[in-house]
Structure 1
Amino acid sequence: MLPAYAHIQGEWRLLQRSIGISAMHMQLLKNNKVVIFDRTDFGPSNISLPGRHCRLDPNDRVLKKDCTAHSILYDIRTNGFRRLTVQTDTWCSSGATRPDGTLVQTGGYNDGDHVIRILVPCNGGNCDWVEYPRSLSQRRWYASNQILPDGRVIIVGGRAQFNYEFYPGHSPSSSKSFRLNFLRETKDGHENNLYPFLHLLPDGNLFIFANTRSILFNYKRNHIVREFPAIPGADPRNYPSSGSSVLLPDRRKCSGRT
């Protein structure tokens, strides 16, 4: 525990005995609500879709007709939740929130691997997932997303994807990927370069970490500015080895070297 917070006493509280789904993915939204969602190809959940609606998906590998929800919107203030409708498989997808608070969720598995899903936060009961099939240029399964200063989202990697792309593209109908050989170089026999760690740095470049290696990347020019030394021990940190990464503030002055 950090010394500054050592005096604070915390506690665990059970807020809901069940929300009906597993929380594979969660995202806090700008209106103090949390969207929670799970994969769709692991059988029915424990909560039905509203209004006796059903999801009809001939491409689903488990349920062609599914009348259960795989996403909910949890309200922190009221401790209540309502059901949302996910049409395609979000298994090991990725996402980012745009400056206006909109959640952009990309990729997944099977019929969801080229899908972009949008959720615009609302305080009423009308907002739900909107899905855009075949909107990604490449299959994005175990990719990573990062919001950029211009409001776009960069989508990096994924299983057997050694490239990146942007959302939105230069036009609504354009989707194009750019090669990033660093991802190919960091793939090993266990694919320990999935869900690469991404951090946007103050100089505008992107820090990318995969397996045991990391680079400083100029995504505007598709150029590696610098490659850093590999971490000691040769132990991978990315999925499936499942480490984690966080960017901490550093008040030290830079030496001016790049």
Structure 2
Amino acid sequence: MSRGRWFVLLPSIGISAMHMQLLPNDRVVMYDRTDFGISNISLPQGTCRPNSTDCSAHSFEYNIASNSVRPLTVLTNVWCSSGTLMPDGSLVQTGGFDDGYRVVRTYKSCDSCDWQEMPNGLNKQRWYASNHILPDGRQIIIGGRKAFSYEFYPKMSATEGTPSFPFLVQTNDPQVENNLYPFVFLYPDGNLFIFANNRAILFDYSNNLVLKTYPTMPGGQPRNYPSTGSAVLLPLHVKGETVNEVEVLVCGGSPKGAFANANKGVFDGALDTCGRIKISDPNPQWFMETMPLARVMGDVLLLPNGHVLIINGASAGVAGWELGRNPVLSLFKRN
């Protein structure tokens, strides 16, 4: 079997793809934090960031067909922000750090399109939040650092509120948090499965009501940032027009105390377990499995044949702040 080869398509433009999104027109938009030095490409029209000497771009669109890039204008900090595609194909990105805490950014691709930024588009500061598209076409934005609430975009009105979300308080570790970037999946009935730290609920966001509380994952180890595991909604079992089985898989992470230890130069081994739970069962229970290799910051991809591919990550330490160690260079495929 012949081996593949890598080809350099473009010279480095100095923008790391902290965030990357494939758009409906087969273009790719990428963007990175704005406070970590200049890039190798200038902002459009010779503009500069406000109150800064940085006139370089921190976002660009890659045109796959022409193998070309176009700089885009992101002026606020998208570091560890969140977002998702809207039904019309536009990308909505929310929150971030510092001057980006409450910003909503929208981007719809065309030859001359650019980011549009709304400085106070969010009711609360959102850093390390999770977004999910809803059946009505809006997105829900859940959590973030010190943000134990959720809100929606776009708003139904200028006075739309920000409901509190006690589940995020209950799963919060005051020293580490470990419930940031919660895993969120849309249940077939329109409610949300939300996993944070080591616990999960089925949530009716319209009425701010917990419909079901699932058992704590065996072992009680954290699975969310900075103990970053990964999760996927497994293929749905459909009979006729009825979905009769819904199952979630959560894999990897790092153990309790790993963040504090990593900051002291001690890098604990990552978790090598996955938990599966049929969230549609009347009495759902976790079923634990062991991966061939431990991973924190792994990526999970659901393949067209129903298999799950797990790649990347580190085998020790935690996510963020250069605290991961020993990259995992092997992939794992589960049938």
TM-score (norm. length: structure 2) = 0.69
Tell me, yes or no, if the aligned pair for 1:91 and 1:109 is still in contact at 8 Å.
yes
Of residues 49, 72, 86 in structure 2, which corresponds to 1:98? 86
Partner SS for 2:99: helix
Paired residue for 2:171? Answer: 186
Cα root mean square deviation, aligned: 2.0
- 1:26 and 1:101 map into 2 onto residues whose CA distance is 15
Q: Deviations over 1:99-145 (max 9, x none)?
A: 000111000011110100010122x2x10000001121100000000
Paired residue for 1:21? Answer: 15
How much has 1:65 moved relative to structure 2?
A: 2.5
Q: Which amino acid aligns with 2:32?
A: D
Partner SS for 1:15: coil
How much has 1:19 moved relative to structure 2?
A: 3.0
Please give the residue correspondences for 1:185-204 in structure 2 after superposition, counting only pairs within 5 Å.
185-188=170-173, 189-204=175-190
**Identity in percent:** 57
Partner SS for 2:92: strand
Q: Structure 1 residues 175 and 42, CA, compared in 2 at 3 Å: closer, same or farther? A: farther
Partner SS for 1:65: coil
Structure 2 residue ranges without an equivalent (≥5)? 239-243, 246-279, 284-335
Structure 1 residue ranges without an equivalent (≥5)? 1-6, 59-63
Tell me, yes or no, if the aligned pair for 2:43 and 2:72 is still in contact at 8 Å.
yes
**Most deviating of 12-21 and 215-224:** 12-21
**1:218 to 2:212 alignment:** no
**1:69 to 2:57 alignment:** yes
**1:51 to 2:39 alignment:** no
Partner SS for 2:76: coil
Please give the residue correspondences for 1:32-181 in structure 2 after superposition, counting only pairs within 5 Å.
32-56=26-50, 58=51, 64-122=52-110, 124=111, 126-171=112-157, 173-181=158-166
Q: Structure 1 residues 175 and 140, CA, compared in 2 at 3 Å: closer, same or farther? A: farther
Partner SS for 1:111: helix
The number of residues matched between the two structures is: 243
Structure having greater relative contact order (Cα 8 Å, sep ≥ 6):
1
Q: Which amino acid aligns with 1:170?
A: M
- 1:92 and 1:213 map into 2 onto residues whose CA distance is 23
- 1:34 and 1:107 map into 2 onto residues whose CA distance is 21
Q: Deviations over 1:22-50 (max 9, x none)?
A: 11111111110111000011121222223
How much has 1:51 moved relative to structure 2?
A: 3.2
Paired residue for 1:61? Answer: none
Q: Whose strand fraction is larger, Structure 1's or Structure 2's?
A: 2
Paired residue for 2:287? Answer: none
Paired residue for 1:31? Answer: 25
TM-score (norm. length: structure 1) = 0.88
